[in-house]
Amino acid sequence: MRCDTLWRNARLATMAESHAGLGEVMQGVVASLDGRILYAGDAADALALEADRVIDCEGRWITPGLIDCHTHLVWAGSRSREFELRLAGATYEELARAGGGILATMRATRAASLDDLVSQALPRLDALLAEGATTVEIKSGYGLNLEAELKQLRAARALADRRPVTIRTTFLGAHAVPPEFARDADGYVDLVCRSMIPAVAAAGLADAVDAFCEEVAFSPPQVRRVFRAAEAAGLPVKIHADGVRAMAGAGTVATLLPGAYYFLRDTQPPPVRLLRDHGVPIALATDCNPGSSPLTSLLLTMNMAATLFRLTVEECLLGVTRHGARALGLQDRVGTLEAGKDCDLAVWDVERLGDLVYRIGFNPLHGRAWRGQWIA
Amino acid sequence: MRCDTLWRNARLATMAESHAGLGEVMQGVVASLDGRILYAGDAADALALEADRVIDCEGRWITPGLIDCHTHLVWAGSRSREFELRLAGATYEELARAGGGILATMRATRAASLDDLVSQALPRLDALLAEGATTVEIKSGYGLNLEAELKQLRAARALADRRPVTIRTTFLGAHAVPPEFARDADGYVDLVCRSMIPAVAAAGLADAVDAFCEEVAFSPPQVRRVFRAAEAAGLPVKIHADGVRAMAGAGTVATLLPGAYYFLRDTQPPPVRLLRDHGVPIALATDCNPGSSPLTSLLLTMNMAATLFRLTVEECLLGVTRHGARALGLQDRVGTLEAGKDCDLAVWDVERLGDLVYRIGFNPLHGRAWRGQWIA
């Protein structure tokens, strides 16, 4: 059978649900045709394959391309000065006077052009890709008015034209209350529901709608209104919130964000045992954002999940592949090495898969493929 | 005046003790001659310089090349399986049966050839260099017999022939008691003092002697014997231990190792306030080792020191430059941008120096120079 590219002489971690553990194949091949996986599995079971291009992996490990299923990657401005002032002992008041917090990012994002947003996000995206990411979710939520939210989503979509990567966009208008509505969160929710969600949906700029349900953000009734508006616009929903039993019942994926836990020096780890007991799949993501997780490494995200949350190596690797895909509703397209899925691969210079989780500040990526396109 | 290379159009952080803070120069140049810094400072104050090669830094920041003043970079074997088993809930007994701990690394290091040790250490060294390191200290201490300790130090020295980097070696025979002396630590200390230190000194393989003073390792009287032997052999000493007042009195540098604190989930941070109050200079290092800090990133080390120990941005940057140099007794050669010192530079693609500490899992190195040799 003809194929475009054949990765041979590889060890595979297919991550397929039908296999035990990580679906390890010690003598494996992956064949791509028209951007999809034609075959991934044991070399001995493969049909005769005639490839236009053969890549000898010299025994390296292949995993599915990594998935960062929760980021706020597109923003303008920097919060490093705020970080610096806080370490130097600045009081909350001094920080507020220096103009910190999410509203600082909102102001810079509103003021930025579309091109500025794209060019400021690109180095962050490149850092993720350099470690084998092939799918990245990006939320809006720093515009907090219609025009700026649309601009932020357009910038996220534009990144997909600039780099070989699958981008999924999420409208997060209900991220914070902008100063125009300082004492009228309900008024802002009205705007989100009546004007922003319909406009975002009509422009085809979002794949989903998210809302931030917490004391400092929006109340459950407010979030319910946002979700009804999303449903009316035909968009799936996701939520920044807690509640393990409800998640288990609804078939939801829990996305853990160890970078924010680390950066904010949180001391209350997520209820990992409860998630396990209820069979809730666990995804891991960078949460890349300027305020609580200026992190652009999925490898480090895995190490933090293991070190700080005691996730196993298997849970970590599934969290940035199969379960990350499911968190995005992309389980039929990416996240495992199975025939018919996008041929998104990460090829690693490691002896053991566990090395990807164990090592800290080390990038053993040999190369990656996105929709069959090999980038080494 | 003629120079070999001129880095122009740069912002400098000289880190010089004579300047306040980080010694920032907003319109700076650095000129090298014969591997040394001929001039580093304000472009307006520079004499007329005729350079064989001019590098336009386009406004980028230049810091001294980074210094990792405490690593155990040379070892053989992997401990990622031990890490994996521990996360999967293995008991201490199961781990011991699986052959973990420092003795596993000792066995693999003893069994490895010199070439194996070099080739296994190179990717770790390369990760440090890729983030702007130009000086790396490497300790022995996984051989724990004369032959293997000499081999480990030779491997460390050999790395300097393979990469443009300054390597400082430290003999750490008193790292752990090897199984041959399981119930006779004093007998092992005899071997260290009478046979190993003189042989290491005679071979010229160590720049210093270190000892691990802790309940699980060696007692203060044992360490005192090791240090007397080092002194007799003409080698300076350093110590893995605590005691702020003694350090202040002796003009010692305290090297903090946030990677090990993070990886071991330690909850007792180092006495940063006490160190500040006593004016003890703080150096930061990766402590790169397979058991407690499989970390090969000085950028991440700085972020961890800020996040976990609340060091300021200035303290972090001085910790991997000027104070790192002083910890190695190299304060006259490296660690600041001053005329006469080695022309070791790191050139960074960041808007603010604070970005080097604030961001996580991101490498903005544009290029580095080692003894005037530009590597971009």
Q: Treating both helix axes as pointing N-terminal to C-terminal, what angle do A146-162 and A101-111 enclose, rounded to 10 degrees?
A: 70
- Mean per-residue pLDDT, B133-147: 98
Contact B211, B240 (CB under 8 A): yes
| % pLDDT > 70, chain A | 100
Q: What's the ipTM? A: 0.96
Q: Is A79 on the interface with B (CB under 8 A)?
A: yes
Residue A201 pLDDT class (50, 70, 90 cuts): very high
Average pLDDT over residues B216-239: 94
| Residues B201 and B193 sit within 8 Å (Cβ to Cβ) | no
pLDDT score of A96 more than 80: no
Average pLDDT over residues A209-233: 93
Residues of chain B contacting residue A354, judged by C-beta atoms under 8 Å apart: 80-81, 83-84
Which of A84, A312, A349 is facing B87, going by the closest CB pair? A312
Q: How far is A68 from chain B (nearest CA, A)?
A: 14
Instruction: List beta partners, residue B345.
Output: B64, B369
Structure confidence by residue, pLDDT tens digits, B55-76: 999 999 999 999 999 999 999 9
Residue B19 — pLDDT band, cuts 50, 70, 90?
A: confident
Nearest residue to B112 (alpha-carbon basis) of B83, B84, B154, B80: B154
What is the pLDDT confidence band of residue A99, given thresholds at 50, 70 and 90? confident
Instruction: Please say if the pLDDT value at position A98 is more than 80.
Output: no
- The tokens for A224 are 């319910």
Could A127 and B357 be called an inter-chain contact, meaning their C-beta atoms sit closer than 8 Å? no
Per-residue CA distances from A210 to A134, A193, A294, A328, B17 (Å): 22, 12, 20, 12, 51
Element (H, E) at A64: strand A61-64
Edge to edge, what strands does the sheet with A208-212 contain?
A66-68, A133-139, A166-174, A208-212, A237-240
- Return the pLDDT at B12: 98
- In 3D space, the residue among B346, B355, B314, B358 whose CA is nearest the CA of residue B17 turns out to be B314
Overall residue count recorded for chain A in this entry: 376
How high is the pLDDT of residue B98?
Answer: 73
Q: Please report the pLDDT score of residue B163 as a whole number.
A: 98
Indicate the residue type of A21.
Answer: G
Task: With beta carbons under 8 A apart, name residues in chain B contacting A295.
Answer: 360-361
**Residues for chain B: how many in total?**
376
A-chain residue closest to B312, CA distance: A87
Does the structure show a pLDDT above 80 at A135?
Answer: yes
Q: Confidence band (pLDDT; 50, 70, 90) for A97?
A: confident
Contact B254, B318 (CB under 8 A): no
Distance, C-alpha A363 to centroid of its chain: 18
Q: For residue B116, which of B151, B68, B166 has the smallest C-alpha distance?
A: B151
Give the pLDDT band (50/70/90) at residue A240. confident
A22-38, pLDDT tens digit by residue?
999 999 999 999 999 99
Give the per-residue pLDDT at A32: 98
Using CA coordinates, name the residue in chain B closest to A88: B312
Q: Rounding to the nearest 10 degrees, give the CA dihedral for residues A106, A107, A111, A113.
A: -20
Q: Does A262 touch chain B (CB under 8 A)?
A: yes
Task: Flag whether pLDDT at A334 surpasses 80.
Answer: yes
Where do we find the tokens 């084998």? A132
Above 80 in pLDDT, residue B92? Answer: no
Helices B102-111 and B146-162 sit at what angle, rounded to 10 degrees?
A: 70
Alpha carbon distance B145, B106 (integer Å): 10
Distance of CA A52 to the CA centre of its chain: 33
A71 touches chain B (CB under 8 A): no
A282-284/A345-348 β-pairing: unpaired
Angle at A223 between CA A220 and CA A228, to 5 degrees: 125
Residues with Cβ < 8 Å from A329, sequence gap 6 or more?
A207, A208, A236
How many alpha carbons fall within 13 Å on the CB side of residue A182?
Answer: 3
Tokens found for residue B188: 């092992």
pLDDT at B47 over 90: no
* H or E stretch covering A152: helix A146-162
pLDDT digits (tens, 9 = 90+) for B163-173: 999 999 999 99
- What's the pLDDT band for B93 if we cut at 50, 70, 90? confident
pLDDT band with cut points at 50, 70 and 90 for residue B97: confident
| φ, ψ dihedrals at A287, nearest 5° | 60, 20
Contact A361 B81 (CB under 8 A): no
Pairwise CA distance, residues B228 & B231, whole Å: 5
- CA B13 – CA A118 distance, rounded (Å): 29
Cα separation, A173 vs A179, whole angstroms: 14
Tell me: pLDDT of B248 over 90.
Answer: no
Strand pairing class (B345-348; B365-370): antiparallel
Mean pLDDT, range B194-212, rounded to an integer = 97
Tell me which residues of chain B, numbers 122 to 181, contact chain A at a CB-CB cutoff of 8 Å: 123-124, 127
Residue B320: burial class (beta carbons within 10 Å; 0-12, 13-18, 19+): buried
- In this complex, the residue of B83, B88, B361 whose CB is nearest that of residue A358 is B83
Mean pLDDT score, A211-216: 87
Nearest residue in chain A measured CA to CA from B358: A80
Angle at A131 between CA A128 and CA A133, to 5 degrees: 60
Tell me the C-alpha distance between A75 and B78, whole Å.
Answer: 40
| Nearest CA distance, B38 vs chain A (angstrom) | 32
Residues B107-135 have a mean pLDDT of 98
Average pLDDT, chain A: 95
pLDDT of residue A93: 76
Percentage with pLDDT > 90 across chain B: 89
Grade residue B244 by pLDDT with cuts at 50, 70 and 90: confident
Residue B230 has pLDDT above 90, yes or no: yes
Percent of residues, chain B, with pLDDT higher than 70: 100
Predicted pLDDT at B111 = 98
Question: In terms of C-beta density within 10 A (0-12 exposed, 13-18 middle, 19 or more buried), how is residue A230 classed?
Answer: buried
User: What is residue A168's predicted lDDT score, i.e. its pLDDT?
Assistant: 98
Which pLDDT band holds residue B26 (cuts at 50, 70, 90)?
Answer: very high
Give the three-class secondary structure for B141.
coil
pLDDT of A324 strictly over 80: yes
pLDDT at residue number B7: 98
Q: How far is B304 from chain A (nearest CA, A)?
A: 9
The pLDDT mean for chain B works out to 95
Cross-chain CB nearest to A296 (options B296, B311, B361): B361
CA distance B164 to B368: 10
pLDDT for res A258: 98
Give the residue-averaged pLDDT of A69-96. 91
Among partner residues A263, A357, A359, which is closest to B307 by beta-carbon distance?
A263
Residue B333 confidence (pLDDT): 98
Show the tokens assigned to B286: 């990766």
